[in-house]
């Protein structure tokens, strides 16, 4: 088993370290020499894809957070209204789905029963389903109308890491492909975003290379009773994923919040010594979100929180209010989750290890849940 872990103490740590490769392999072979996206696997008539007027992403767990990231990207690039729904909630609300709806089922294993049932329900209503999946020939991609595989390689640890980054990558490709096909207003951005995507594996590696700093903080925080995570825009699902990782493997109470929601409730939780991770959007992004999140950091710091900030290299505005700063390379806002998630995974993995837990086989959880 030691050999299978490639010298790492756990599969989870190995898989975190494989993320540059997982993203690179998911991008590979999907562009032609002119730089156009070619998704031959997407065996749904182009006329059908052009007519899509709504996208619904269905998934569970970590995959559902990948879906939330996908929504921001797909809506921005394609201008198609996109919803994300937990697969087990989807069919029970009598969702409005028809022939012009494209359902995207995200699943690492391709065997999650809740997601499979959502796929079947969507198909019964006439929708086409694209599966984004990491396991060749599994049930969800077989039943879907088309499958876009992530090429992360087998993921053994129960808590998903490299599959998550690969799911996000594949969802970006799907969004860019639909934008390309439909020739809409963000078409000009496609080539630029593709080039930025190609640069992500090296940037992910740069984040991994700072892991000692994250690990030493995890060691220091090993007795924390609760950890909060704040993020905004695509940083919000990153915050949710950071919290989920801590719950899953370190058994610590953890919650992710949309940073804008802080003043509507969660700020009441802040007291002296409360650790709070904050995922800071790029200062180069639109909409002054950066300034708003920096002021959130100020607010919680003033109330005694220990602030752990994930910010871009060169973002000096965060320095005054951060107890700890982890830097990620600069990237377009929509792609930042591929970087900002990584320190949170390393933190959870190291903290759980420091507590003496088996990070690969957390209690009560299964890698793939094949019952409803």
List residues with catalytic annotation. Answer: 367
Judged by CB under 6 A, which stretch of 154-162, 301-309, 312-320, 339-347 contacts ligand G6P?
Answer: 154-162
Contact partners, residue 17, CB within 8 Å, separation at least 6: 8, 208
Indicate whether 108 belongs to the interface with ligand G6P (CB under 6 A): yes
Region 348-367 residues binding ligand G6P, contact defined as CB under 6 A: 365, 367
What Rg do the C-alpha atoms of the chain give, in angstroms? Answer: 20
Q: Which is nearer to ligand G6P, 89 or 299 (CB)?
A: 89
How far the first Cα of the chain sits from its last, in Å, is 32
Q: Is the dihedral of CA 288, 294, 296, 299 positive or negative?
A: negative
Closest CA to 108 of 57, 48, 41, 161: 161
Binding ligand G6P (rule: CB under 6 A), the pick from 23, 63, 131, 218 is 63
Judged by CB under 6 A, which stretch of 42-50, 157-165, 207-215, 351-359 contacts ligand G6P?
Answer: 157-165
Binding ligand G6P (rule: CB under 6 A), the pick from 60, 208, 328, 349 is 60
Judged by CB under 6 A, which stretch of 28-36, 95-103, 108-116, 215-223 contacts ligand G6P?
Answer: 108-116
Tallying the residues shown for the chain, one arrives at 372
Indicate whether 283 belongs to the interface with ligand G6P (CB under 6 A): no
Q: Is the dihedral of CA 27, 33, 34, 39 positive or negative?
A: negative
What does DSSP assign to residue 281? Answer: P
Q: Which is nearer to ligand G6P, 106 or 297 (CB)?
A: 106
- Distance between CA atoms of residues 69 and 341, nearest Å: 11
Indicate whether 169 belongs to the interface with ligand G6P (CB under 6 A): no
| Axis crossing angle, helix 337-354 with helix 235-245, rounded to the nearest 10 | 20
Beta-carbon-side half-sphere exposure of residue 256 (alpha carbons within 13 Å)? 21
Q: How many helices (H) and strands (E) does the chain have?
A: 14, 10
| Axis crossing angle, helix 187-198 with helix 61-78, rounded to the nearest 10 | 140
Which H/E stretch holds residue 131? strand 128-133
Indicate whether 68 belongs to the interface with ligand G6P (CB under 6 A): no
The footprint of ligand G6P on this chain (CB under 6 A) covers a number of residues equal to 16
Least distance to ligand G6P, CB of residue 60, Å: 4
Q: Which is nearer to ligand G6P, 181 or 369 (CB)?
A: 369
Least distance to ligand G6P, CB of residue 109, Å: 3
Which H/E stretch holds residue 129? strand 128-133
Indicate whether 158 belongs to the interface with ligand G6P (CB under 6 A): yes
Binding ligand G6P (rule: CB under 6 A), the pick from 10, 19, 31, 112 is 112
Edge-to-edge strand ranges of the sheet holding 128-133: 82-86, 54-59, 101-107, 128-133, 146-149
Least distance to ligand G6P, CB of residue 16, Å: 14
Least distance to ligand G6P, CB of residue 155, Å: 9
Q: Which is nearer to ligand G6P, 109 or 307 (CB)?
A: 109
Q: Which own/partner pairs from 121-124 qualify as long-range (CB within 8 Å, at least 24 positions apart)? A: 121/90, 121/91, 121/95, 121/97, 122/56, 122/58, 122/90, 122/97
Least distance to ligand G6P, CB of residue 7, Å: 24
Binding ligand G6P (rule: CB under 6 A), the pick from 10, 19, 68, 107 is 107
Binding ligand G6P (rule: CB under 6 A), the pick from 19, 31, 52, 61 is 61
Beta partners for residue 311, in sequence order: 327
Q: Which is nearer to ligand G6P, 37 or 170 (CB)?
A: 170
Binding ligand G6P (rule: CB under 6 A), the pick from 115, 139, 282, 353 is 115
Indicate whether 109 belongs to the interface with ligand G6P (CB under 6 A): yes
Indicate whether 205 belongs to the interface with ligand G6P (CB under 6 A): no
Binding-site ranges for ligand G6P (CB under 6 A): 60-63, 107-109, 112, 115, 158-160, 365, 367-369
């Amino acid at each position: 088993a030691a050999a299978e872990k490639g010298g790492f103490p756990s599969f989870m740590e190995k898989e975190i370290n494989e993320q540059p490769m997982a993203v690179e392999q998911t991008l590979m072979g999907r562009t032609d020499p002119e730089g156009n996206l070619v998704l031959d696997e997407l065996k749904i008539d182009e006329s059908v894809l052009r007519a899509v007027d709504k996208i619904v992403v269905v998934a569970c767990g970590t995959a559902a957070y990948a879906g939330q990231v996908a929504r921001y990207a797909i809506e921005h690039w394609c201008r198609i209204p996109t919803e994300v729904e937990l697969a087990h909630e989807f069919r029970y609300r009598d969702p409005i789905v028809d022939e012009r709806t494209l359902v995207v089922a995200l699943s690492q294993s391709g065997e999650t029963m809740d997601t499979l049932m959502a796929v079947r329900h969507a198909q019964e209503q006439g929708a086409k389903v694209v599966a984004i999946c990491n396991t060749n020939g599994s049930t969800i991609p077989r039943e879907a109308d088309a499958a876009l595989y992530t090429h992360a390689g087998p993921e053994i640890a129960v808590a998903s890491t490299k599959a998550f980054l690969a799911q996000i990558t594949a969802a970006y490709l799907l969004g860019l492909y639909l934008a390309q096909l439909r020739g809409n207003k963000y078409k000009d951005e496609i080539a630029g975003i593709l080039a930025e995507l190609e640069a992500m594996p090296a940037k992910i590696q740069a984040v991994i290379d700072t892991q000692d700093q994250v690990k030493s903080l995890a060691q220091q925080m090993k007795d924390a009773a609760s950890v909060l995570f704040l993020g905004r825009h695509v940083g919000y699902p990153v915050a949710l994923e950071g919290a989920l990782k801590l719950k899953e493997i370190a058994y610590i109470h953890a919650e992710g919040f949309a940073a804008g929601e802080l003043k509507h409730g969660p700020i009441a939780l802040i007291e002296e010594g409360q650790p709070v991770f904050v995922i800071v959007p790029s200062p180069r992004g639109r909409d002054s979100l950066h300034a708003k999140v920096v002021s959130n950091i100020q607010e919680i710091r003033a109330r005694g929180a220990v602030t752990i900030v994930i910010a871009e290299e060169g973002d000096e505005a965060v320095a005054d209010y951060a107890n700890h700063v982890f830097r990620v390379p600069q990237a377009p806002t929509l792609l930042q989750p591929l970087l900002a998630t990584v320190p949170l995974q390393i933190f959870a993995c190291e903290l759980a290890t420091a507590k003496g837990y088996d990070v690969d086989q957390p209690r009560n959880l299964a890698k793939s849940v094949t019952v409803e």
